[in-house]
A = this chain, B = another copy of it.
Amino acid sequence: MTDITMIRAAAERLNGHARRTPLLSSPFLDEIAGRRVLVKPECLQHTGSFKYRGGRSAVSALDPDTRSKGVIAYSSGNHAQGVALAAREFGIPAVIIMPADAPRLKIDNTRALGAEVVLYDRAGGESREAIGETLTAERGLTLIKPYDEPQVIAGQGTCGLEIAEQASAEGVEAGDVLVCCGGGGLTSGIALALEAEAPGLRARPVEPEGFDDTARSLRSGHVETNTAASGNICDAILTPAPGQITFPILKRLCGPGLVVGEDEALHAMALAFQRLKVVAEPGGAVALAAALFRPAQIDGDAVICTISGGNVDAAMFKRALDQHGT
């Protein structure tokens, strides 16, 4: 199980590889939120999302013989690119199983990072697990899960170590840390890091309306599932339920979840463009949206939030600017 020792070890392995993202702010955002807003822009991480941290952590933690045979991941998005880059850096094969209807750009990017992309027909009933198991057995690949994997959680936790240090440098020792939450890898990793390094800071998951499985699970105390599997622009963080490994961590350490609407995510994207000069994808903007538009649900003089990724196409970004740009 992931603990602070594993997170610190992951930070050692990521040192010189993962980017130390800055902590951004704008007086204009502070004014909207009614308190200081500090933003951790993981969109500036390699491959455009925090997923590189977990991918590199997991790949670097494998024993060299196992690693040399290669890794495999299921992903239509950010995890694919994070694992692909980490594998390329180690000079090992990476197989990424993606739905054939995934955005062309994400398929192309994953291939350009050196991965072998295997497409499956989601609608036609092909099982990605069956394809993956066959490939894994044939080639001796190691599966890198997107969140329910201790070394992936440890890698995402390195983001929390940085937040603890950077918040302290800003004089912020207490308050909420809002985290864009899908399966809970980033949220649980950050929560573990804060428990050890900044006990006055509390991680809280933020999800899109209709996909608030983690918020509901935290309320009920056991894993709750979403009814829909798609149909929201926050594609990067649409997962059916919190993970079996991540949920116990979330339950022990996190404050209540927050939920925002699609239009609020778009609004936060436009404000990140205008005030922070960074590119957020819809799922990566939900925590900033909560920081700005849910002030009554947040405690403290300052709030910290992640922008978890920026892999958004031009059409969606223009939609945000059209609806909320100036």
Binding site for B on A (CB under 8 A): 16, 19-22, 24, 27-28, 41, 43-44, 48, 85, 105, 109, 112-113, 169, 270, 273-274, 276-279, 310, 313-315, 317-318, 321-322, 325-326
Contacts and interface: CB of A to CB of B under 8 A. Distances in A.
11 contacts: A24-B44, A27-B112, A28-B112, A44-B276, A277-B278, A313-B325, A314-B321, A314-B322, A314-B325, A314-B326, A318-B318
Stoichiometry, copies per complex: 2
A270 B27 CA distance: 27
A270 B318 CA distance: 12
A273 B314 contact: yes
Give the top 10 A-B pairs by smallest Cβ distance, nearest first. A314-B325, A277-B310, A277-B279, A314-B321, A43-B277, A318-B318, A48-B277, A273-B279, A44-B277, A105-B326
A318 B21 CA distance: 26
A169 B41 CA distance: 21
A109 B274 CA distance: 11
Nearest to A311: B277
A32 to B, nearest CB: 12
A22 B24 contact: no
A310 B27 CA distance: 16
A299 B101 CA distance: 42
Nearest to A321: B314
Nearest to A314: B325
A28 B41 CA distance: 20
A197 to B, nearest CB: 21
A326 B310 contact: no
Contacts of A279: 273, 277-279
A51 to B, nearest CB: 13
A113 B27 contact: yes
A174 B270 CA distance: 38
A180 B255 CA distance: 45
A278 B318 contact: no
A318 B105 CA distance: 19
